[in-house]
Structure formats: C-alpha cells, structure tokens
Amino acid sequence: MKPANAVKGRKQMNGNTLLLIITIVLFVILYAGGCIVYGSKGFTNLQTFLNILISNAGLICVACGMTCVMLTGGIDISVGSLVALDCMLLAYGMGKWHMSAPVMCLIVLAVGLIFGLVQGFCVGYLEIQPFIVSMAGMFFARGMTAVISTDQLSITQDTNAAFYSWANWRLNLPFGGVLNRKGVLIMPYIRVGVIISLLVLIVIFLVLRYTKFGRSLYAVGGSEQSAAMMGLNVKKTKMKAYILSSFLCSIGGICYCLNTQAASVSQATGLEMSAIASAVIGGTLLTGGVGNVIGTLFGVLINGTIASIVQFNGKLASSWPNILTAALLCFFIVLQSVFAFLKEKKK
C-alpha cells in the first residue's frame, strides 16, 4: 500500500503537485517582491529569511501536526490554546515551582500526549465531529492556562538559567555574513528552536512517506470505508493522528516559548488559524488524503513573509497579516474546490 498521491498515477498527481508548485511560486514571488521593495532596509539579508524561521519555529511543528490530522480528514483547532498552556506551564513551573528545565519540558510533552489521547478518543472511538472536540479542547486549554495563572510571566536568567541559555543560544552559519555599520562582519545565525522544528519536519516527512502509520493516515483520509475494508484500524489511526498532533504541538509550544520567553493567557491566539492556513496553502486537502509537510513548510514561510513584509513597511496596521492570510486561505480553498470539481467532471 503506497501513499494515496503516489498510487493514483501521473494524471491526478499533477493536480496536487500543481497546488504545491503554485505555493512555491507564490512564496518566491512574495519574497522577491519584498526584496525589491524593501531591499534598502535589509530585506535581502540572509538573516531576514532566518528570522522568519526563528519566529515561526513553533508554528512549523504545530503545522506539521495539523497536516497529519488534516490528512485523516479531521481538524484540530485546539493547538493555539495548547501552545499557550505549554508556555504557561513552562514559565510557571520554572518560576514558581523551581523545577529544572528538562523536567518541565518532559511534563509539557506528557500533557500534550494526554491531551491528544482524550481528543483522539473522542474523535476516533466516540465519532464526535473533530471540530467540536477540538473547539472544546481549545477552550479547555485556554481556561486551564488562566487557572494556572492570569499574570504575564517571563522567563529570565533568574527564573531558570538553563532554559534561558537554551533560548539565547545561537548557531552561527559559516556563510552569508554582512558588514554592519561599524564594519564588523556579522554572521547569520539560527536558534535552537529552528533546529528542533526542522528535525521534526524531516521526521514527519519520513514517517508520512515510509512508515505504515504514515501511509495509513493517507488511506484513512482518502476513504475511510476502503481503509477499513483493507483491514486498517480506522479508529486507532485517527486517535494516533490526534495524539501526534498534540504531541508535536507541545514540541511547538516549547519552541514558541524558547522564542518568546514569556507566557500569558492571551498568548498564541489565532495560532490554530495560521497552522491550518499554512497546511491548506501548502496543498493539504481539507477533505483529507492529500498533502505533505514540505508544502506545509512553504505555507508557514508564506505566512512569515507576509508578516515580515508588513513589519518592514512599518506603516501598515497590525491587522493586515491576518486579513492577507485569510484572503490567501480563501483563494486556496476555492482553488481546491475548483480542482475537486474538475476531477469529478472528468469521471
């Protein structure tokens, strides 16, 4: 049994790869546009691109999980709140309980697993609509964040030296340095979050492509009935997808926290939207069965590029990235529906 998009043959694969190509071209156009318009402000530096990666490291992990869930035809909108809960747990645990950083990270990952297990059970075995389940999860996580603390917490050197040093650790790249105003060569750098998120991306890519679990995700999303007839345990697969999503979301939460070094109740609001938008823009079909994390990566990059263009402009209102992302999402959803319509007609 191969992944659905490989098995369907050349003709239909073109439709799906076309979506991916559109995404990549769109990213290149956006980025090139940014370079041309804001080149004088330093948009062309390699660091600008790396900053997009640094600030979206958490989102990459979360979006990978979202892609897995969407492959099964479901959706998980609890991710944003779960990230907020993770950050709050990290900040509060290290600040008030004086736990060590690795222990808190393990606790956060465990919370993610349990959260995913409950959601997955409700979706897989109780057959409740994923949206309703994850909406309840979203409000639960957000509320639990408030239960832990309603204050704005930040992680400083005093709170936890280990976590602080992780957060401020840089890996300088050996190339692409830029001379600053004083004439000192500054090397572009990435942070630990980027490495984690790229590792996650690669692992998920391999899992989806080469493992039994990854292929069964595609099969369940393609057609639940045929998957069941092939002898797959549909319920279990669905549950695993939600566990994976929440687990990756917790990893994303740690990356997010490494980047912001702060926690508050209103943190990461709308992150679920960005994650869904990234996956959809990256060519993952909302009906399930089609998609891949490479597209999702480009979806995240497009999101980040829009945000950073708005940032470089400096005059645009802060609500513009939201509107633009929603417009892009709308465009891709309509595009997908048109493709689906054409496919139907061909039959």
Partner 1 sequence: MKSKKLTQNPLFLPLVCVLLVLAVNAVYDLSQGKAFYEFFITVINDQGLLTGRLVTILNRGSEVAILAIGMTLVVSASAGTDISVGSVMSLCASFCCMLVAGFGVSSVDDVAIPRLLLGLLGALVMGCICGAFNGTLVAYLNIQPMVATLILWSAARAIGLLLCNNLIVYVRTDAYGVFGGYIGFLPTPILIAAVCIAVVSLVLKKTAMGMYIQSVGINKKASRIAGLNSKRIIFMCYLLCGLCAGIAGIVASSRITSADSNNIGLNMELDAILAVALGGNSLGGGKFNLAGSIIGAYTIQAITTTMYNLGVSSAVAPVFKAVVVIVIVVIQAPPVKNWVRKHTAARPAAGKEAAHA
Binding site for partner 1 (CB under 8 A): 75, 122, 125-129, 131-133, 135-140, 142-144, 146-147, 150, 265, 270, 273, 276-277, 286-287, 317-320, 322-323, 325-327, 329-330, 333-334, 337, 340-341
The amino acid occupying position 296 is T
The answer to whether 199 and 254 have CB atoms below 8 angstroms apart is no
Q: Indicate the residue among 142 and 191 with the shorter CB distance to partner 1.
A: 142
Q: Which of 323, 318, 299 is nearest to 26 (CA)?
A: 299
Least distance in Å: CB of 201 to partner 1? Answer: 24
Least distance in Å: CB of 46 to partner 1? Answer: 31
Least distance in Å: CB of 333 to partner 1? Answer: 6
Tokens read off for 281: 């823009």
Q: How far apart are CA 182 and CA 71, in angstroms?
A: 51
Q: Indicate the residue among 1 and 323 with the shorter CB distance to partner 1.
A: 323
Least distance in Å: CB of 176 to partner 1? Answer: 35
Least distance in Å: CB of 317 to partner 1? Answer: 6
Q: Indicate the residue among 20 and 286 with the shorter CB distance to partner 1.
A: 286
Least distance in Å: CB of 194 to partner 1? Answer: 26
Tokens read off for 318: 């802060």
Q: Indicate the residue among 154 and 337 with the shorter CB distance to partner 1.
A: 337
Q: Indicate the residue among 229 and 317 with the shorter CB distance to partner 1.
A: 317
Q: Indicate the residue among 35 and 333 with the shorter CB distance to partner 1.
A: 333
Least distance in Å: CB of 188 to partner 1? Answer: 32
Q: How far apart are CA 270 and CA 293, in angstroms?
A: 20
Q: Indicate the residue among 5 and 264 with the shorter CB distance to partner 1.
A: 264
